[in-house]
Structure 1
Amino acid sequence: MKIAVSGKGGVGKTFIAGTLASIAADKGHRVIAIDADSSPNLALTLGLTPDEAERLLPIAKNTRLINKKTKTDYPGVYNLTFTVQDIIEKYALATPAGVHLMVMGTVTSMGSGCTCQANALVRNILRHLIVKQDDDLILDLEAGVEHLGRGTADHVDLLLIISDANLKSLRTAKKIHDLAEGFGPKNVYLIGNQIEGKEEEELVAQFAEDHGITLIGCVPFDESVRHADIRGEVISPDSGGGAIKAVRQLYEKLVENAHTGLKGDVT
């Protein structure tokens, strides 16, 4: 299953992406998690220490690798057709969560016609992982809407849009949903996150209904998640916390419906 996770900054997008990846790995799947955010933090969610995370060099900034794959003997002419399996094998780092992590960095080019070497390399790796690799893939996208115009999430099975009950977050979710209508993902779902109480859950559900967005479920605000983030600790997928339990239920629902699609509000 190939899943891209999107949303406004601060809504818990990386928590959802990392937890889904950890749950899949806990079930025995080989999972590759891709951090494509301009401010990558997925490593911490998957159990790496801050020092380990700090040492990770994003693919988009790995000049030596970029030149190795794209440089030619002719100035201004770059090779844009190359193998990437060796890159995946070398740079997909095993994490304590049982997930293999690759930090891509931000894809800044628009469309497939750009000849920027760094972005050509990142696009080729993502395309290979999404289209040709059998592993489960969780793609933590850059916050906001710009990534959809770059084709980053094309061909994934599912695009999950994360939002809290804040109207600004929901409006961003709507923009992402509307943009995704013209791009690759066939199944686009909204997840309410950090939801405090029935009133906020109903608010998110009403917004989704009013704007034709499929709401697949809500994850409650969980004090243990907030404290874990403050302390830099990892929450086990076996945790009995309310947020983890809700994400587990969402994962089962996503697996069940990945190839058939969901109709209407499925909360």
Structure 2
Amino acid sequence: MKLGVVGKGGAGKTTVAALLAEAYVAEGRRVVAIDTDSNPNLGISMGLSLEETEAVPVLPRSMLVGVQGDVTADELIGEYGTDTPVGATLLSAIKVTEAGAGCTCGGHATVRSLLSDALADRADVTLIDMEAGLEHLSRSGGTLAHADVLLVVMEPSRKGVLTAARTLPLAEELGIPFTVGLGNKAKRPDDRRFFEDLCAEHGVPLAGVVPHDDDVVAAGRTGRCLTASSAPAVRAEIDAVIAHLDALTG
């Protein structure tokens, strides 16, 4: 499965991506997680220190991966992949380190070639943590054009659900087979009902609703890894989301 995780800024998609990676590994699946945010923090959420995250090598721009490309997936993971404490392999596709360095289109092209079929023999799940917004869906060729599922993380607000609704036609135009919403940070008693009602109103398939958890907040503030045992209610919902995605993709 090739799973893109998207959403508006602050929705919690990097935390969700890390929790999904850990949960998939716990099921015995081989996971490659690709951080495409120009301000990469997925490594921290997956248990690396700040220093280790900063040291993750960035993929060369516009590299074509595959038997007809510049390198094979094995070569690329061997040189640029970083093992993480949650058990997934991390790749960093994009990183902005200086002003005026130009656009990041080449990095997105590399990710697109990775998602074609290049990682099929190295990963059961390829998980892509995208930068905030929808611009990556409008790039030439579409960064996530080869994804199987697009998961739109939504905070409990009308704007969060509207972002998911606006994503649906873009993903369909790219040919992504499935796009679903995932409610996150549900704190009020009526938050689940809010997601269910508003998603139904705007035609957004709802994969689940992740509850608010104080330990998730604490992990974000301290920069530590959020493990399954520290937030059992969150993990239970993540497991249910994985089961939903498995049922979608067969």
Please give the range of the TM-score, normalised by the shorter of the 2 chains.
0.7 to 0.9
Separation in 2, partners of 1:228, 1:147: 28
Equivalence map 1:1-267=2 (5 Å): 1-60=1-60, 81-85=69-73, 86-105=75-94, 108-109=104-105, 120-129=109-118, 133-150=122-139, 151-259=142-250
Give the ranges of 4+ consecutive aligned residues of structure 1 lying more than 6 Å apart after TM superposition.
none
Separation (CA, whole Å) in 2 of partners of 1:129 and 1:10: 31
Question: Following TM superposition, by how much is the alpha carbon of 1:131 offset from its aligned partner in structure 2, in angstroms?
Answer: 5.9
- Tell me the CA shift for residue 251 of structure 1: 1.5
* Cα displacement string for residues 53-100 of structure 1 (whole angstroms, at most 9, x for unaligned residues): 112232146xxxx7xx68xxxxxxxxx942332112221111111000
Task: Check whether the contact 2:93–2:108 (CA below 8 A) recurs between aligned residues.
Answer: no
Q: Secondary structure of 2:91's partner?
A: strand
- Give the Cα separation in 1 of the matches to 2:8 and 2:58: 22
Shift of 1:24: 0.8
Q: Distance in 2 between matches of 1:147 and 1:27?
A: 30
Instruction: Work out the CA distance in 2 between the residues paired with 1:20 and 1:91.
Output: 22
State which drifts further: 149-158 or 225-234. Answer: 149-158
Against the structure 1 CA distance between its residues 30 and 176, is the aligned structure 2 distance closer, same or farther, given a 3 Å change threshold? same
Displacement after TM superposition at 1:237 (Å): 2.3
Code of the aligned partner of 2:176: P
Q: CA deviation at 1:158?
A: 1.1
TM-score normalised by the chain length of structure 2: 0.86
Structure 1: stretches of 5+ with no match in the other structure: 71-79, 110-115, 260-267
1:104-162 alpha-carbon deviations (Å, 9 max, x no partner): 017843xxxxxx5x554443233344666553111111110011122111122211000
CA separation of 1:130 and 1:81: change in aligned 2, threshold 3 A = closer
Measure the CA separation in 2 of the matches of 1:163 and 1:214.
Answer: 12
Alpha-carbon separation, structure 2, partners of 1:210 and 1:136: 31
Taking only aligned residues, the RMSD between alpha carbons, in angstroms, comes to 2.3
CA contact (8 A) 2:17 2:129 kept: yes
Change (3 A) 1:194 1:60: farther
Check conservation: 1:224, 1:241, Cα contact below 8 A: no
Tell me which amino acid in the other structure corresponds to 1:16: V
| TM-score, length of structure 1 as denominator length | 0.81
The change in CA–CA distance for 1:124 and 1:171 in structure 2 (over 3 A counts) is same
Structure 2 segments unaligned to the other structure (5+ residues): 96-102
Q: Which has the larger radius of gyration?
A: 1
Deviation string for 1:138-187 (max 9, x for gaps)?
A: 11111100111221111222110000112222222222122112112101
Moved more, 163-172 or 10-19: 163-172
Q: Identity across aligned pairs (percent)?
A: 32
In 1, distance between residues paired with 2:202 and 2:120? Answer: 31
